[in-house]
Structure 1
Amino acid sequence: MLKEFGHNIWTADGSEVVAMMGFHYPTRMAVIRLSDKDLFVWSPISLTESLRVEIDALGEVRYLVAPNSLHHLFIADWKRAYPDARVYAAPGLREKRKDIAFDNDLGDAPVTEWCGEIEQVVVEGNAITSEVVFFHRKSGTVIFTDLIQQLPTAWFSGWRAVVAKLDLMVGPEPSVPRKFRMAFTNRRVARASLERILAWPAEKVLMAHGTPIIKGGQAFLRRAFGWLIA
């Protein structure tokens, strides 16, 4: 189930789908092995026994990360499976999931334990969610959650297929869905966050819902956010 995406970074696609506003989405997570062999788990998917065996073979799960207020469904299950892991919440999630004892909140500054290996920026100014975007230096990978998406053209049917096309969710390459573009109520703040992301030497771009970009990451990001840069 785990697929190597780069140096010390793996992905896993879930067999389940999650629903949001009547639309169903596939799931994906990422695992980063830090220099001390501890594991940083981003946007955990449903934890199966086979996935747990593969995860445990990589190292020890220490950090469970919910990167925005929409990606949190399986965090509690992972915490029960790995009680010593620390759980990190994106802005707004602590209030939404009061049933989870979060250890810390994610901000613009990297947590001490992964500082120097993983950078992060909170993309603010969006009415839907404040998303924390990460950059894994060793693999040159920028990790988005929902701000960039691309689903297969046949994923939706009927009226949902029409809406998905209008929303730019099924284009020729991953892009920012129209609903997220419209939800940026403070573009000045969002543009400042994007400038920090574009300063990263990105080669690859990974997202929760979409075909990963495996080369030319910086050029891709400038295309995806051209509407905001302008």
Structure 2
Amino acid sequence: MYAVGSGEESTCRAALGTKIFQTLSVASLALSLWTEAIKLSRSQSSTTTDAMTSKLIPSNPSAVMVIRDITPNITTLSAPFARFGLFRIGGRGTIVRLTSGALSVFSPTALTPEVRAKLQEKGDNLKYIIAPDIEHHIFVSEWARAYPSAQVIGVEGLPEKRAAAAKDPSEVVPFATVFTEKLKGQVRISGEFDRDFEYEYVPEHMNKELVFLYKPDRTLIVADYLFNLPATEQYSRTGEPANKGIMTRLFGALMSTQGRAMGQKRYLWYAASAANRNGFGESAARIGGWDFDKIVPCHGDVVETGGKEVFRKLFGWHLEGLRK
């Protein structure tokens, strides 16, 4: 179910395999494999991307998704996801109930009957569908069709990316709010949303990340901004270990938050923020100034407590760089 297919997709596996012979250390090997996978995915045609997507996400999401209320207002939707069929990183959508009663979803997952039931339990007033970076948008159309009055929110480049991949113009979903580098810090979503959330756009990240803080529950919500592997909860209903496969174990060691977390710290410094470390660091400083304890990542387990300490550890070099 998670293996990469054949044809044009097979070039990805071949290119990734050559990295094994080009890299000496475990950390740089995993980093090279991951960044090469990202580059290759963005060079694929929309047809190939659609074919690969069918290989990466579970065909039976209801059977494997874990729906959990991590606070009275926040529900996580955790499911298996394997990037390129090689990296078992898991995937997670997050539903948040605002103090107004409106609902928002971040990085939407498959809209299963069980997810619909959870939304109805929370009032079914979905007003915001958020694709928090250039990658986490696979199920946006499904949610937008089910909730046509909801505002779709994303980052620059994503509307164009989705329009280019659409097989029919009717599939194109309009975006109500698009965050851009030019207007960084100036884009606002709505009064009711802004009362409950702080948010920071990080265009310096390779995936153009949006990071959110749900202030009432002191919870940080991220996409690819940071990882917390292994994806134990996300694979807990599959009957298979989250760390199955050598590539998953290598990348999991790199993207852990345990111990000194030097692998992920290096990844954030040398890869994720390489285009503009100063700008990336300025955003990290603003996010680090927020009041949060819990972190909900798309990939890996929820940081249930101590999130601020984890954040400072991972982004320490960026924060220290600003102080020098």
User: What residue number does 1:132 align with?
Assistant: 210
Q: CA deviation at 1:7?
A: 4.3
Q: Secondary structure at the match of 2:225?
A: coil
Q: Write the deviation string for residues 94-147 of structure 1: whole angstroms up to 9, x where unpaired.
A: 221113322221364441240110110012322x21100000000001111112
| Pairing 1:48–2:112 present | yes
Distance 2:308 2:134 in 1: 26
Q: Give yes or no for contact 2:265–2:315 (8 Å, CA) kept in 1.
A: no
User: What residue number does 1:86 align with?
Assistant: 151
Q: Which runs of 5+ in 2 are unaligned?
A: 1-65, 164-171, 232-240
Superposed, 1:74-223 pairs within 5 Å as: 74-98=139-163, 99-106=172-179, 108=185, 109-112=187-190, 113-126=192-205, 128-152=206-230, 155-161=242-248, 163-165=250-252, 168-170=254-256, 172=258, 176=264, 178-183=266-271, 184=273, 185-223=275-313
Counterpart of 2:194, as a letter, is C
Superposed, 1:27-42 pairs within 5 Å as: 27-42=91-106
Q: CA deviation at 1:205?
A: 1.2
| Pairing 1:73–2:138 present | yes
For the structure 1 residues 173 and 51, does the alpha-carbon distance in structure 2 shift closer, same or farther, using more than 3 Å as the test?
Answer: farther
Q: Secondary structure at the match of 1:138?
A: helix
Q: CA deviation at 1:2?
A: 3.2
Q: Secondary structure at the match of 1:50?
A: helix
Q: CA deviation at 1:12?
A: 1.6
Identical residues among aligned pairs (%) = 29
Name the structure where strand makes up a greater proportion of residues.
Answer: 1
TM-align CA RMSD: 2.4
Distance 1:191 1:78 in 2: 34
Distance 2:222 2:201 in 1: 11
For the structure 1 residues 151 and 111, does the alpha-carbon distance in structure 2 shift closer, same or farther, using more than 3 Å as the test?
Answer: same
Q: Write the deviation string for residues 16-73 of structure 1: whole angstroms up to 9, x where unpaired.
A: 4253485343111111111221101111111111210111220211110000011000
Distance 2:126 2:259 in 1: 33
Counterpart of 1:182, as a letter, is Y
Q: CA deviation at 1:76?
A: 0.5
Distance 2:142 2:116 in 1: 12
User: What residue number does 1:10 align with?
Assistant: 75
Q: Which runs of 5+ in 1 are unaligned?
A: none
Compute the TM-score of the two structures, normalised by the length of structure 1. Answer: 0.87
For the structure 1 residues 21 and 48, does the alpha-carbon distance in structure 2 shift closer, same or farther, using more than 3 Å as the test?
Answer: closer
For the structure 1 residues 162 and 139, does the alpha-carbon distance in structure 2 shift closer, same or farther, using more than 3 Å as the test?
Answer: closer
Q: Give yes or no for contact 1:88–1:102 (8 Å, CA) kept in 2.
A: yes
Counterpart of 2:150, as a letter, is A
Q: Write the deviation string for residues 152-181 of structure 1: whole angstroms up to 9, x where unpaired.
A: 285344441454156x12453796475443
Which one has the largest radius of gyration?
Answer: 2
